[in-house]
Structure 1
Amino acid sequence: MNNKNTVEGAQVVARAGQLLKLVARDGGRGARLLDLARAAELPQSTTRRLLKALVEERLLEQSLPGRRYFIGPLAFELGLARHSRPIVTEEFRIMMAGIANQADGAVCLQALVGDDVLCLHRADPDTKPGCNSIRPGDRRPLGGGAGPLAILAKLSNLEIDQTLEKTSSELYFTLESDLRDTYSGITNTRNQGFAVCREMFDRSLTGVGIAFSPQQHPGATLLSISILVDEINEARIETLANLLKRKIKTTNASGFQCLANSDNNFHHNFELHTGPNTGLSN
């Protein structure tokens, strides 16, 4: 195989991987061809050809009514093969369930993966059904919600600029006002020690989130925990933020683990990208 074919083959794989991640960001809504082509900065013909191949391999599936693309069954099957046990420990899941009941809102644990944020676990209060805006396995761009915004604010200014430059062509950051709002949100998050942001796919929900490094992976893994609620005011924002800070500090002080991997290689497994100042804000 000559070098030209090798390079072209690598580009095809990279583009297919990019499309898979973009579809994953849309979660249960499904992604349209036009939006995917714009976000990936590819011609529609190229995008359609790649999507067709991914559908044939069952990595994606396409709905007949709306012609939207969803993550396919093979992606799920491969995930099961990689992880034979839960990513999040039982004790941390119990803690998240307790927060959900105290806050009367959904609680999400998310991790930084490349330029995206991946939902690892969600806990819902006993009093109401879970929200449909974000589920385990869903991806969000950095800044796309309270948890992703909290993580974004932990990165250096240079990393933030580089990240937003990459995502500015995507559907959710194409408007100049969105970028201004994102930078303003970063400043506010750093000043107050927590992020407050409307949920990306359900504007009726507001999230309060904090980024932190788990006790067993100091400086290696950047996570966020956020609470999504449908009724919010300044007093409740402060209450929810203090609840999260208190629970995370208690978790780190007690020494129990957040992530269920004893081999200490979560950073390698999930290709996590971290920046400086990854400790919990006071």
Structure 2
Amino acid sequence: MAAAQSVTRALKLLKIIMARADSGVRFSELVKLSELDKSTAHRILEALERESLIYKSEGTAAYYPLVASHLENKNKKIKIVFAEVIRALAEVTGDTVLLMSRDGDYAECLERQSGDYPVKALTTEIGQRRLLGIGSGGLSILAKLDDDEIRGFVQRNLHEPALAAIGEESFWEEIRACRKLGYALVGDRITSGTRSIGVNFMRQGYDVSLCVVAVNSRMDENRLPWLQEKILLTVKPLEEPLQVKGLAAALN
């Protein structure tokens, strides 16, 4: 009887969280809606987290449901962590911001947010995958690897037309430039008339790049260091999650 009661309570909490998949549910609200006492609710939520059925956002302290596959779970966590960062960066720059995450030899676009500049540079769709090194996001991720890992990547993917079009010598020049500058810069490769800057962030649990994409006229040499600075500033508060809210105002 006790075991059945525990299952019922867990399912009650899980159903509440699943019903609020987009906004999440904070602990106090879960206690109120489930009519469970705090200690019981806390114990059940910890068990659901251990089983990767739910995820607690460090930034908002809200609980979110997770899906079945490990990769989807990981990507959902990354999107939650970077949600406010992407929104703030798009607001401050006025341009399109991409969140690219490494998946083996590829980078996948997990999220895209457009700023208020009237000419949109929509070079990449959410869910789209590109070989590392082709876009600025994948290039910034690849540049953080050691040379032997990069050589292995090149050998595995020499047959890919996108990589062959760049050429191995030019490819290595771009890697070296990225390491020197601290960001990757790609222009006109994916969509004519656009440039993008990508900065890689590798932490426990994720290896991603934040990219700002805009028309060429907005990506001159004077603006690029400013964009890099804004990208780095947006990510810095992730070390102190409670300060992420209101990030755009702090960057202005």
TM-score band (shorter)?
Answer: 0.5 to 0.7
**Would the aligned equivalents of 2:96 and 2:114 in 1 still touch at CA under 8 Å?**
yes
Please state whether the residue corresponding to 1:174 is helix, strand or coil. helix
Residues in 2 aligned to 1:196 and 1:181: alpha-carbon distance in whole angstroms: 13
- Find the counterpart in structure 1 of residue 226 from structure 2: 239
SS at match of 1:112: strand
3-state SS in 2 of match to 1:140: strand
1:148-182 deviation line (CA, Å, top 9, x unaligned): 1100001110110110111211111224x532222
- Distance in 1 between residues matched to 2:208 and 2:104, nearest whole Å: 13
Larger Rg: 2
What's the Cα RMSD here? 2.7
The amino acid of 1:196's aligned partner reads L
- Write the mapping of 1:14-29 to structure 2, written as runs, cut at 5 A: none
Aligned residues: 174
Shift of 1:129: 6.5
Distance 1:256-1:112 versus aligned 2 partners, 3 A rule = farther
Kindly provide the amino acid, as one letter, of the partner of residue 237 in structure 1. L
Aligned to 2:222, the other structure's residue is in SS state helix
Provide the C-alpha distance between the structure 2 equivalents of 1:143 and 1:163, rounded to a whole number of angstroms. 10
**Following superposition of structure 1 onto structure 2, how do residues 59-74 of structure 1 map, counting pairs within 5 Å?**
none
Higher strand share: 2
For the pair 1:142 / 2:132, whether they are aligned, the reply is yes
CA distance in 1: counterparts of 2:104 and 2:243, whole angstroms: 26
Q: Secondary structure at the match of 1:201?
A: coil
> Is 1:198–1:205's contact at 8 Å kept on the other side of the alignment?
yes
Rounded Cα–Cα distance in structure 2 between residues aligned with 1:139 and 1:193: 23
Other-structure match for 1:225: 210
1:134/1:89 CA distance change after superposition, 3 Å: closer
Contact 1:111/1:223 (CA < 8 Å) preserved in 2?
Answer: yes
- Using the alignment, how far apart are the partners of 1:166 and 1:255 within structure 2? 42
Which structure 1 residue ranges, 5 or more long, are not aligned? Answer: 1-79, 258-282
Identical positions, percent: 22
How much has 1:203 moved relative to structure 2?
A: 2.8
Q: Indicate conservation of the 8 Å contact 1:110/1:121, yes or no.
A: yes
Please identify runs of 4+ aligned residues in structure 1 that moved more than 4 A: 80-91
**What is the identity, as a one-letter code, of the residue corresponding to 1:93?**
A
Q: TM-score, normalised by structure 2?
A: 0.62
1:209 paired residue number: 198
1:222 aligned counterpart, secondary structure? strand
C-alpha contact (below 8 Å) 2:121/2:214 kept by paired residues: no
Partner of 1:248: 235
Aligned residue among 194, 214, 217 for 2:183 = 194
Match of 1:92 in 2: 82
Q: Structure 2 CA distance, aligned partners of 1:133 and 1:161?
A: 28
Amino acid aligned to 1:198 = G
Contact 1:109 1:225 in 2 (8 A): yes
C-alpha distance after superposition, 1:97-149 (max 9, x if no partner)? 22112112111111111111111111111343653320111011111111111
Distance 1:89 1:139 in 2: 16
